[in-house]
Structure 1
Amino acid sequence: ADDYLVKPFSARELLARIGSHLEMAQLRAEQVHARKRIEESEERLRTIINNVPLVFWSLDAQGIYTLSEGKGLEALGIQPGELVGKSQFEVYKDLPALLEPVRQALQGETVTCAVELQGRWFETTYSPIRDEQENVTGIVAISMDITERRQLEQLKDEFLGVASHELKTPVTSIKGYTQLLERRFRNDGDERSAALLQKMNVQLQKLTLLIEDLLDVTRIESGKLLFRYSSFDYNELMNEIVEETQRTTTKHTIIRKLSSTVTLSADRDRIGQVLSNLLTNAIKYSPRSETIIVKTVCTDDAIITSVRDFGIGISPEKQQHIFERFYRVEGETRATYPGLGLGLYISAEFVKRHNGSIWVESEEGKGTTFSFSLPLEDASKGVDN
C-alpha cells in the first residue's frame, strides 16, 4: 500500500493492480476449494472401498496386479495391496476359469463371469483400459461376493424341481382321465361334451409343457440333464415338428425351405424341442402376421436352421438378454404374450451342449429370425453327458 502512496499513480493503474491481486486471491481460494473437494472425494471413495463387500483391482498389460483393494478381500484371506506386483497368471495358475476372462479382457473385450474361490462365489466384470491410440494397456475389474445369492438360487431351483415333480404325477393322471372321458363321450355320440373335454385336454397339455420346462431347468442347473444320442434323418424331424406345430394354429402358415437332408447324430427329442420352442415363439410373437418361414442350409461341417417371423421384433438392448432364464420380451401389454420365459434359455442350453451355437437377428416392428447350427459330425463328442 505504501508503494501506491509514495509514487505517482493513475486510477487505471491502481484498479489494474487491485484487480490482479483479487484474481490471484480468488485463484488461490479456488485451488484450495478444489483440493478440499478432491480430498473429500478420495475419502468417500476410500470409505466405500473399505466398507462395501467388493474387490477393486487392476492389472497391467502383462497381467501384473497394480491395485487390489476392498472389503471383499477379507473372504479370501487377502490383505489390501498384498497382490500388487504379483502376476495373476501365477497366483491363480490352477484356476483356468479365472484366467480365461482376463485374457479376453486383455484382447479388448468386456467380460462378466462367476468363479468359485476358496468356497465362495464371486461375480467379476473385467473392462479393458485403453490409451489414446486405443491400445489395451491393462484391465480394471470389480468383484462381488454372490455366495448368498447362489445359495438362494439353488434353493429356488430345488423348490422348482420338487414342485414340478409333485405336479407332474397328478396332471398326468388328470390328462389320462380326460382323454378317457373324451373317447367315451364320442362313442356315446355326445360331441358337445367331448369337445369341451378336448379343450380341457389342450390346456392340460400346455400345463404339462410348462412343468417339463421347469424340470429341464432344474436338470440343467444341477448338471443332471441327460442326452440320448442317435442317428436320424434331419428333414424327417423338421417335417414332423412343423406339421405338429401347424396343427396348433389356423392363422399362421409355416413355409418350409429345406436343403437336402442330412443324417445327424444328436438327441432327436431335444433338437425337436428346440425347433418346437422356436416355432411356438414365432406364432406367439407375430399375432398380426400370417407367415412363418423355416429354412435349413448345409455347410461343409454344420446344418443351420432358421425360424423367421414377421411379428413385433426385439430391440437391440433386449436381444443380449433373450437367452436368459425367465426373460420375456413384452409387447404393448404383458398379458398378450404369456409364458415363463424359459423356452429360449432351454433351447440355447440344448444347442450349446450339442457343440452348436444359437443366435438372433431382429428389428422392431419387422420381425425376428432365430437361427441355430449343429455340427454334422457326432455332436456327442467332447460333451460331458
Structure 2
Amino acid sequence: MAREESSTHNTHNFLTGEDICSAFIRNTDWSHTSLGAVEDWPKSLKTTLNIVLNAQVPMFLFWGPNLIQFFNTALVPVFGQDPKLQEFLGQPGGDLWMPDDIFVKVLIDEVLSTGTASLTYDKRITIFRNGRSEDVYWSCSYNPVIDDEGSINGVFITCFEVSGKTGYQRYIEERNENRVSAMMKTHLAVFNAEERLRLATEATGIGSWDIDLRQNTIIYTPTLMELFGLDRDTMINLNEISSLVHPEDKAIVDNAFTNALVTGQYRYEARLLWPDESVHWISTNGRIIFDEQDYPSRLLGTTIDITENKIEQLQKNDFIAIASHELKTPLTSIKAYLQMLKMENAVKDPEYVLNIAGRAEKQVIKMTKLIYSFLDMSRIESGNIDLSIAPFMIDELIQEVIKDYLIHTNSHQLLFTPGITEPIEADRSRIGQVIDNLISNAIKYSPLSKSIEISSTTFGEEAVVSVRDHGIGIDTRHQEKVFERFYRADDQKARNASGFGIGLYLSADILKRHHGGIWVESDHGNGSTFHFSLPLTRP
C-alpha cells in the first residue's frame, strides 16, 4: 500500500485529527486498494470511521467483504510496543487474526448475517502500556454498519476495559466459559476442521474449488493456480480456466460435466497447456450439489497434478506395444528359417543350412537379450539384483564384447582404443551387459555411419569407458531423461529404431550399484558419446 502526502485533510473532515491513526489514513494513497480513493468511499464508511477515530475508547471497524481493518489510537497498545501501523491498519482482518481470535471472526460473521448487535464480556487480552506488557479485561460491543439502502457493509466494535473487577476475574472467566453459545462452538469446530483440511490439501498439492453454477463464478485455493502454471495469487474466471485446457481434451471436460448433471459425479483426466506452452496432466474429481428443486446449484471438487504418473503410464503402454513387436519379430524370423530348413533342397546344400542356421542363431541371441532385459528390470523393481564382485581387466572384457559383435555385425567398424592396464573390482557379467548395451545403441542410432569408436582410460581413482557414434544424436532436452525407465525420445528417427527404452535404465542402475556413473554428450544430428565410470577398487 503506497503512502503519499495529499490534501485529503483539507477535503475530508473525518480525517482532520492529528492522532497517528488519522494521520496514517490521511497520508495513505488508497486508490490502489480494494477500497479505492477516499473521495469515492461511501458515506456510511466515512461516518463510521469518523466516530471510530474520534472516540476516546478503543474501537475497531471491519469493512467490506475482505473485512479491512481500521482502529483508533486508543487501540494501538494492543499491537505491542511501537507497532508499525502499515502492518495492521487497512489490512484484511483475516490475515492478522491468531488462532485465539477465531471467536472474533465468528461474532463478526454473525453480525453481518443477522444485522443484530452482539456483546462479549471480560475478554482477557495483553496490551503494552506504562512501559510494559500487562493483561487486562475488556468487554466489547459488536454493531453492524448499515447504509441508507439497508445493506450491512461492516462491523464496528467498541471495547471497554473492566479490569477493575479483579476480585471477580475467576468468576468472570468461569461465567464466560459457560456463556459461549452452541453456535460459536459449532463455528469454531467447523473452522478448525476446515482449516486442517485446507492445510492438508495445500501440503499435498491438491487444489480445491467451488463453482456457483447459477452465477457462473468460482472460488479456489491458491494451489489450483499453481496446477495451471500461474502465480498463486492470480485471479481468474471460468472462461480463462477453460482456455488452459488442451484443445484436444476440451470434449473430455465437456462430457464429464454433462455426465455429472445426470450422475452427480464429476470426474476426468485431461491435459493443460501452461502459459509457457508445456503440457501437464490433471485429474479432477467433484460433485454437483442440487437445490430443493433438484436444480444444480454448485459444483465442488479437487484437482491434482498427475503428469509424472500419466507419462509413466503412457511410456509403459508404449513399452508393452514395442515389447510385443520386438518379441514377435525374431519369433517370426526363426519360424521362417526353420521352414526353409525343412525344404528338400536344404539337406543337399550344407552351406545353405549353415547360412540359415546362423541367421536363426542371431534371432535367438536377440530374443535372449530381450528376455534377460525383462528379467533384470523385474529384479531392479524388487531390489533383487545381486552382484558378483571380483577383479578383472576391463579392456579384455571390451574386446570380448566387440568380438561377439563382429561375428554377427558387418554394418559398422568397431574401433577400440584401450587405456586401462590395471584390474578393476566389479561384476564382470553386469559390466559386460552395460558395454554391450552402449555398443548396440551406437549401431542402432547411427544407420548412415560406418564407425563406432570405443575408448577406455583412467581418471584419478576411476576407470572411464566411452562409446562414440556419428548418428542422429540426442536433443539437449532429452539427454537426462534417456536413463529413465521406458523413456523413448519423441524423435521420429529414434522411434524407428528397435528397442524397449530400458537398456540405459538398466545400465544406469547397474553402475549405481557399483558406485559409478553414466552420462552422455551429444548434439542433435551430430552423434553421441556415452561415458560410464567405475571405481578402480571396491568402495
TM-score range with shorter-chain normalisation?
0.5 to 0.7
Partner in structure 2 of residue 209 of structure 1: 369
Partner in structure 2 of residue 56 of structure 1: 202
SS in 2 for 1:292: strand
- TM-score, structure 1 normalization: 0.53
Do residues 338 (structure 1) and 484 (structure 2) align?
no
Partner in structure 2 of residue 136 of structure 1: none
Partner in structure 2 of residue 103 of structure 1: none
Q: Deviations over 1:102-131 (max 9, x none)?
A: xxxxxxxxxxxxxxxxxxxxxxxxxxxxxx
CA 1:53/1:309 → structure 2, altered by over 3 Å: closer, same or farther?
farther
Partner in structure 1 of residue 436 of structure 2: 276
Amino acid at match of 2:483: F
Do residues 356 (structure 1) and 502 (structure 2) align?
no
SS in 2 for 1:247: helix
Amino acid at match of 1:319: Q
CA contact (8 A) 1:53 1:71 kept: no
Partner in structure 2 of residue 287 of structure 1: 447
**Pairwise mapping of residues 181-200 of structure 1 onto structure 2 (< 5 A)?**
189-200=349-360
Amino acid at match of 1:352: K
Q: CA deviation at 1:71?
A: 7.8
Q: CA deviation at 1:246?
A: 2.9
Q: CA deviation at 1:196?
A: 2.6
Q: CA deviation at 1:189?
A: 3.7
**Pairwise mapping of residues 1-385 of structure 1 onto structure 2 (< 5 A)?**
55-57=201-203, 189-333=349-493, 336-378=496-538, 381=539
CA contact (8 A) 1:50 1:71 kept: no
Cα distance in 2 for residues equivalent to 1:52 and 1:201: 63
CA contact (8 A) 1:326 1:342 kept: yes
Structure 1 residues not aligned, in runs of 5+: 1-25, 40-48, 58-67, 73-79, 81-143
Cα distance in 2 for residues equivalent to 1:218 and 1:332: 28
CA contact (8 A) 1:323 1:348 kept: yes
Cα distance in 1 for residues equivalent to 2:475 and 2:350: 49
CA 1:51/1:242 → structure 2, altered by over 3 Å: closer, same or farther?
farther
Amino acid at match of 2:373: D
CA contact (8 A) 2:517 2:534 kept: yes
Q: CA deviation at 1:69?
A: 8.0
SS in 1 for 2:403: helix
Cα distance in 1 for residues equivalent to 2:358 and 2:524: 37
Q: Deviations over 1:135-157 (max 9, x none)?
A: xxxxxxxxx799xx79x98xx9x
CA contact (8 A) 2:488 2:494 kept: no
Cα distance in 2 for residues equivalent to 1:286 and 1:53: 53
Amino acid at match of 2:392: F
Cα distance in 2 for residues equivalent to 1:222 and 1:283: 31
CA 1:341/1:29 → structure 2, altered by over 3 Å: closer, same or farther?
closer
CA 1:227/1:371 → structure 2, altered by over 3 Å: closer, same or farther?
same
Cα distance in 2 for residues equivalent to 1:260 and 1:300: 12
Partner in structure 2 of residue 113 of structure 1: none
Q: CA deviation at 1:327?
A: 1.0
Partner in structure 1 of residue 127 of structure 2: none
SS in 1 for 2:436: helix
CA contact (8 A) 1:304 1:372 kept: yes
Cα distance in 2 for residues equivalent to 1:290 and 1:53: 60
- TM-score, structure 2 normalization: 0.39
CA contact (8 A) 2:362 2:408 kept: no
Give the root-mean-square deviation of aligned CA atoms. 4.6
Amino acid at match of 2:377: V
Amino acid at match of 1:372: F
Q: CA deviation at 1:301?
A: 0.7
Q: CA deviation at 1:242?
A: 1.5
Q: CA deviation at 1:190?
A: 3.5
Q: CA deviation at 1:332?
A: 3.4
Cα distance in 2 for residues equivalent to 1:300 and 1:228: 24
CA contact (8 A) 2:483 2:505 kept: yes
Cα distance in 1 for residues equivalent to 2:389 and 2:346: 40
The alignment-based identity, stated in percent, is 37
Partner in structure 1 of residue 251 of structure 2: none
Q: Deviations over 1:259-312 (max 9, x none)?
A: 142211111000001000000000000111111111111123110011011111
Larger-Rg structure: 2
CA contact (8 A) 1:52 1:71 kept: no
SS in 2 for 1:313: coil
Amino acid at match of 1:323: F
Cα distance in 2 for residues equivalent to 1:318 and 1:350: 21
Cα distance in 2 for residues equivalent to 1:239 and 1:301: 22
Amino acid at match of 1:225: I
The 10-residue stretch of structure 1 (342-351 or 226-235) with the greater mean CA deviation from structure 2? 226-235
CA contact (8 A) 2:444 2:497 kept: yes
Q: Deviations over 1:47-88 (max 9, x none)?
A: xx999998534xxxxxxxxxx88589xxxxxxx9xxxxxxxx
Q: Which has the higher contact order (CA 8 A, sep 6+)?
A: 1
CA contact (8 A) 2:485 2:505 kept: yes
Cα distance in 1 for residues equivalent to 2:457 and 2:532: 11
Cα distance in 2 for residues equivalent to 1:321 and 1:251: 28
CA 1:269/1:70 → structure 2, altered by over 3 Å: closer, same or farther?
same
Cα distance in 1 for residues equivalent to 2:207 and 2:387: 43
